[in-house]
Amino acid sequence: MRVSIDPGDRKLLIASGALLVGIALLGFVLSSSPATQSLGYPSSYGTGTGGAKVAYVLLGELGYRAERWTSPPSDLPKHPRGTVLVLAEPLVAPTADEKSLIREFVRQGGCVLATGGSGAALLSAHRLASTHKPVFEPQKFNAELPAPLTRHAPEIVMQSDVRWEPPLADQQRYYGDREGPTVVGFRIGKGEVIWWADSMPLTNYGLKQSSNLMLFLNSVDPDGERPENTRILWDEYFHGDRRSFWSYAAGTPAPWALGQLGVMAVAALLTFARRSGPVRPLAPASRLSPLEFIDALGALYQRKGAAREALKTGYHRFRFVLLRRLGLPSSASPDDISRGVRERLGWTVPGFWETLQRCELGVNSSHFDDALALLLIQELHDYARRFRLTGYFGS
């Protein structure tokens, strides 16, 4: 028995379904992976001109053990010899403890490549000064002395209006101009710090300019050791990629799933509110229900004594559905039908051909016994069920 849906409920279901589909499509459009975003800062995920994915991927192809670092400074290696931490223009301001932990990392033998004013601030190295004039285009800087850092890098290109103040006795200037140094290096304990005034030499755009590529490789491997012995940690923690539970969940479809659950909850509340509204009397059921119609039709056949017509209707329906199943023409004889059932349906139990013959005889007879007609119709129903004739029972 089919259950009718109230027109108001049908509209509510259609609207809810359309809203869910819209949310799913919106999530698909907006939830692009970090690797495909064109970030404007030197992130290892960034594929735009200001990103640094090319440099990060290149390190792996050259054999360096490069990995993205999304953990706090407290998780940095305790024995960092042979480990380089890349701090490419950090975006998130560090705490005093985080600054102290990074300096301790260097003091224990680690190496840090920091860029920009924010990179210097992360090292607690507040020795920066601005140029006298703003810088609006890249500038070239020549190497000022032969050193491992300037090996095969006689000229680099940067765009920055920040300069390191005149270095102290333990700090070495490698590149710069009259405004001040743009690349300096100094040691802290057992480790070393290399500072660039700008991240251009490691960005997707700047990596191929002049000798920027060689400066980048010399900076991440200042000792010239074999690549497989150098571990490079590309910091994304200070770019905001922090691996908490909520940050991980934000990168999954979980927020969109929660949004869809919220829409379903709102729809359920609206439905409950409708069901809890004013009580109205049910509409009277029609007297012409399917069962009453069948009873009335059967009574008409019985009063008329039209057993042959009832058998004729059932038999023609059975033939039509069975012939369509077997792929036989409508003019097929009982012999053809019996043969098709045996060959195509694998039915070998005797009695089917006899039933067809008796049906043919009853349909063509002017007088037919009611009991025999009922028996034959029941047999046709049984064969239709055994042969699984789709459509015979109205399905």
Domains of the chain with bracketed CATH: 7-31+253-275 (no CATH), 34-250 (3.40.50.880), 291-386 (no CATH)
CB 220 within 8 A of CB 84: yes
Lowest mean pLDDT among 102-116, 247-261, 304-318, 360-374: 247-261
* Predicted local confidence at residue 84, as pLDDT: 94
* Predicted local confidence at residue 192, as pLDDT: 92
With CA atoms as reference, report the closest residue to 176 among 165, 192, 190. 165
Does pLDDT of 197 surpass 70?
Answer: yes
* Predicted local confidence at residue 266, as pLDDT: 82
Does pLDDT of 326 surpass 60?
Answer: yes
Does pLDDT of 130 surpass 90?
Answer: no
Quote the CA–CA distance of 61 and 65 in Å, as a whole number: 10
Decide which of 211 and 308 is more confident. 211
Quote the CA–CA distance of 154 and 186 in Å, as a whole number: 20
* Predicted local confidence at residue 253, as pLDDT: 72
* Predicted local confidence at residue 313, as pLDDT: 84
Mean pLDDT confidence for 341-360: 87
Q: What is the pLDDT of residues 204-233, one digit of tens each?
A: 999 999 999 999 999 998 776 678 888 999
Lowest mean pLDDT among 27-31, 77-81, 104-108, 371-375: 27-31
Does pLDDT of 117 surpass 80?
Answer: yes
Decide which of 227 and 317 is more confident. 317
* Predicted local confidence at residue 389, as pLDDT: 85
- Place 296 in a pLDDT band, splitting at 50, 70 and 90: confident
Quote the CA–CA distance of 248 and 239 in Å, as a whole number: 15
* Predicted local confidence at residue 68, as pLDDT: 92
Q: What is the pLDDT of residues 269-292, one digit of tens each?
A: 777 666 666 667 777 766 656 667
Return the percentage of the chain with pLDDT > 90, whole number. 28
* Predicted local confidence at residue 35, as pLDDT: 38
Quote the CA–CA distance of 119 and 54 in Å, as a whole number: 21
Q: What is the pLDDT of residues 31-62, one digit of tens each?
A: 544 433 334 679 898 888 889 999 999 999 99
* Predicted local confidence at residue 30, as pLDDT: 62
Count of Cβ atoms closer than 10 Å to residue 219 Cβ:
26
Does pLDDT of 113 surpass 90?
Answer: yes
* Predicted local confidence at residue 311, as pLDDT: 81
Return the percentage of the chain with pLDDT > 70, whole number. 82
* Predicted local confidence at residue 291, as pLDDT: 66
Q: Which of 63-77, 238-252, 371-385 has the highest mean pLDDT?
A: 63-77
- Place 252 in a pLDDT band, splitting at 50, 70 and 90: low
* Predicted local confidence at residue 196, as pLDDT: 93
Whether pTM > 0.85 for this model: the answer is no
Mean pLDDT confidence for 176-192: 91
Does pLDDT of 167 surpass 80?
Answer: no
Q: At what angle do helices 352-364 and 307-326 cross, to 10 degrees?
A: 130
Q: Residue 393 contacts by C-beta under 8 Å, 6 or more apart in sequence?
A: 384
- Place 195 in a pLDDT band, splitting at 50, 70 and 90: very high
* Predicted local confidence at residue 17, as pLDDT: 77
CA 62, chain centre distance (Å): 31
| DSSP strands (E only) in 209-312 | 231-235
Does pLDDT of 162 surpass 60?
Answer: yes
Neighbour-count burial of 107, counting CB atoms closer than 10 A to its CB (0-12 exposed, 13-18 middle, 19+ buried): middle
* Predicted local confidence at residue 120, as pLDDT: 85
Q: At what angle do helices 370-386 and 307-326 cross, to 10 degrees?
A: 20
Decide which of 125 and 82 is more confident. 82
Q: What share of the chain is helix, strand, coil (3-state, %, to 5)?
A: 45, 15, 40
* Predicted local confidence at residue 361, as pLDDT: 85
Decide which of 364 and 97 is more confident. 97
